[in-house]
Structure 1
Amino acid sequence: MTEPLIGISTYLEDPVRWGVWRMRAAVLPVGYHRLVQRAGGLAALLPPDAPAAADAVVARLDGLVISGGPDVDPARYGAEPRPETGPPAPERDAWELALIEAALDRGTPLLGICRGLQLLNVALGGTLVQHLPHVRGHSGPPGVFAHHTVKPVPGTMLAAALPEEVSVPTFHHQAADRLGTGLVPSAYADDGTVEAVELPGARGYTLAVQWHPEAGDDVRVMSALVGAAAAG
C-alpha cells in the first residue's frame, strides 16, 4: 500500500541562521515530519502561500496537519488583543485558515496541533482565551515543554486513539473559549481547559489537540490521522 501524503504547515521566520547563511526561511521543528513518518505517512512541508492556492494544494494531499506556532490574530474572531497576546502573523493566519477551509470542503483528514486547534475553532466561528491565568500548568519556561494529564471524553474519535488518561507535552498560553459550529470537546485538562476538539459528521476525519504530540513518544494521535488518510 502506498503511504499517504500528509502535508504540514510551516513557519516563516526572519532571520534564520544555518552555516554561513542568515536569511528569511520557512522552517518547522523536525518532530512534526518525523512523527508523520513514524506513523506510516509521507511528510510534505507546506510554506505559506497565497490563500487562493490552498484548494489546489489540499487536492494533492491525503491528509493535513496544521502545526503549532504564534498566537492567532484576535481580529480573526472579533476581539481586541490583550497585552499578553503575541504579535500577529497575518500571512500565516490567512494561509492556514484557507488550508483548513479547503480540507473541510474536500473531506480531507485534518489534524490540528496547538495553534492548529485554535485556528480550527476560529475557522468555525469560535473564540479563544487569549491568556490562560493558569498558564503555569500548560507551559514550561521559554523553549521548554511542560507535561500534564489530559482526559479523553469516552465515545469520541480521540478516545478511540487514546482510550485512557495520558500525560502529554504541552506549551501554550491560549485555548478554545466558545467552540465553533459543530465542534465538540474530546479531552480536558484537570483544570477544565479543553485539550482536544473534533467535528462529528464532517466529510472527513477532523480532530485537533492542544498539546504537542510531535514533542513526545506517543504516535497514536498521528497514527489515527494517517490511518484515516490511507482509508481515503
Structure 2
Amino acid sequence: MSQPLVAVSTDVKEFENYTWHAAPRQYLEAAISGAGVLPLLVPSFGERLDLDGLLKRVDGVMVTGSKSNVHPSLYGGEASEANGPYDPLRDSTTLPLIRKAIERGVPLLAICRGIQELNVALGGTLATEIQEREGVMDHRAPESDKQDERFAIRQAVTIKPGSCLAGVFGAGDIMINSVHRQAIDRLGPRLQVEAVAEDGTIEAVSVKDARAFAVGVQWHPEYWVKSDGNSLKIFQAFGAAARARAQGRGVLAQAAE
C-alpha cells in the first residue's frame, strides 16, 4: 500500500528577504519514519484555501508545534508583546482545518501549539505564562544551547484509564519532554482529558465525538521518535488511523468504478 498523504500545518516566517511557509524537519521526519505517511505542507493562506477539497484527498492532518502562540483575540484574551510572537495567518488556516478534519472523520494529531489550536478551535481558552501561577511547575525547556538538552525527556504525565491514549501507552505514568509556557485553561466542550502532569496541567486531550483518531499532546513526541518507544507509539497510532482511512477511501473508489 502506498504511503497515506497527511496534511501538515506551516508557520509563516520572514528570513532571507522572503516570506516562508515552513515546518520543522523533526515533524516531517517523524511523519515519515514514525507514522509511515507522506507529509504534505499546507501553506497558511487561510480562507483562500479549499480545505474541503484538501480533506477529500488526504488521510490525516498533523498540526505542529511552534514558537508562536495562538492569538488571544481568538479565545477572548488580550494580546501582549510578552505573550507573542503570533502567527495570525497560521491561525486562520489551522483552526478551520482542525474543525473540518474532525467533521469529516480525518485522523488528527495536534502537537504542542497544535493542542492549543485544537482547544481554541473547539471553544476552549488558554492560560499564558503558566510558570507564574502558584502551584504550577515550570514546563518550559531548560536553558541550553543544545536542542537535545532543551527537549530532554524529564517529566512524568499520568495517562487516564480508559482513555484513547491508554490504548496506545497503557494507563499510568509515562515520561515526556516539556517545552511550553502556555497550556489549556478552559477545556473545549467537545474535548476530554487524556493525560495530566503532576501539577494538574492538561498534557493531552482527545475529541469525544470524533469518528477517527483525534488527539492533541502538549509535549513533543516528534523529537525522539527514533529513540523513545512512547514517542514512536503515538506516531504509529496516528499512522495506523491514516492507513485505515486510506484503505477505506480506496474501497469506496473501487466501488464507484
Aligned partners of 1:11 and 1:92 also within 8 Å = yes
Q: Which amino acid aligns with 2:61?
A: L
Task: State the alpha-carbon separation in 1 of the partners of residues 218 and 186 from structure 2.
Answer: 15
**What is the deviation of 1:83?**
5.7
Describe the SS at the equivalent of 2:50: helix
Alignment-derived partner of residue 206 in structure 1: 214
Alignment-derived partner of residue 187 in structure 1: 195
Among candidates 212, 222, 230, match of residue 235 of structure 2: 222
Among candidates 6, 12, 29, match of residue 34 of structure 1: 29
**What is the deviation of 1:117?**
0.4
Task: State the alpha-carbon separation in 1 of the partners of residues 63 and 137 from structure 2.
Answer: 22
TM-superposition CA deviations, 1:21-80 (whole Å, max 9, x none): x53222221111111111221221222123242222222110000111111111100112
Alignment-derived partner of residue 2 in structure 2: 2
Task: State the alpha-carbon separation in 2 of the partners of residues 197 and 25 from structure 1.
Answer: 30
Q: Which amino acid aligns with 1:230?
A: R
Aligned partners of 2:12 and 2:87 also within 8 Å = no
Query: Structure 2 length as normaliser, TM-score?
Result: 0.82
Task: State the alpha-carbon separation in 1 of the partners of residues 102 and 200 from structure 2.
Answer: 27
Do residues 171 (structure 1) and 179 (structure 2) align?
yes
Greater radius of gyration (CA): 2
Aligned partners of 2:11 and 2:22 also within 8 Å = yes
Task: State the alpha-carbon separation in 2 of the partners of residues 35 and 181 from structure 1.
Answer: 30
Aligned partners of 2:11 and 2:87 also within 8 Å = no
Equivalent positions of 1:89-128 (< 5 A) are 89-128=87-126
Do residues 59 (structure 1) and 35 (structure 2) align?
no
CA 78–137 in structure 1, closer or farther in 2 if over 3 Å, else same: closer
* Uncovered stretches (5+) of structure 2, i.e. residues with no partner: 226-230, 246-257
Aligned partners of 2:165 and 2:194 also within 8 Å = yes
Aligned partners of 1:11 and 1:28 also within 8 Å = yes
Aligned partners of 1:71 and 1:115 also within 8 Å = yes
Q: Which amino acid aligns with 1:145?
A: F
Identity across the alignment (%):
37
Query: Structure 1 length as normaliser, TM-score?
Result: 0.91
What is the aligned-residue RMSD (CA, Å)?
A: 1.8
Q: Which amino acid aligns with 1:37?
A: I
Task: State the alpha-carbon separation in 2 of the partners of residues 132 and 84 from structure 1.
Answer: 13
Task: State the alpha-carbon separation in 2 of the partners of residues 34 and 103 from structure 1.
Answer: 22
TM-superposition CA deviations, 1:121-164 (whole Å, max 9, x none): 01111011111124633422276325311111111111111115
**What is the deviation of 1:98?**
1.5
